[in-house]
Amino acid sequence: MKTILNILSLIGLALTIIPSILLLTDSLKAGQVTLLMTIGMVLWFVARTLRENLFRPTEVSTHAVEHDTPHTL
């Protein structure tokens, strides 16, 4: 699942970069570029957000380390 989300995010990034280059070379029209870049943006945000939320590393509890002063009896 993590690999699939990584691939989808890379495809989304490619869809935001490559159409702008193709616009400069007159291979695509402005409307097509806008559509492809919008799809790429949404795909990237969704894939990266899902990846970060589903595969978040576990947080370490710092309750015992919170105080800088040593404990004395």
pLDDT in tens, 26-44: 999 999 999 999 999 999 9
SS (H, E, C) the chain: CHHHHHHHHHHHHHHHHHHHHHHHCCCCCHHHHHHHHHHHHHHHHHHHHHHHHHCCCCCCCCHHHCCCCCCCC
Residue 72 pLDDT level (bands cut at 50, 70, 90): low
Residue type, 34: T
Tens-place pLDDT, residues 1-28: 889 999 999 999 999 999 999 999 999 9
Predicted pLDDT at 65: 54
Token code pair at residue 32: 């097509």
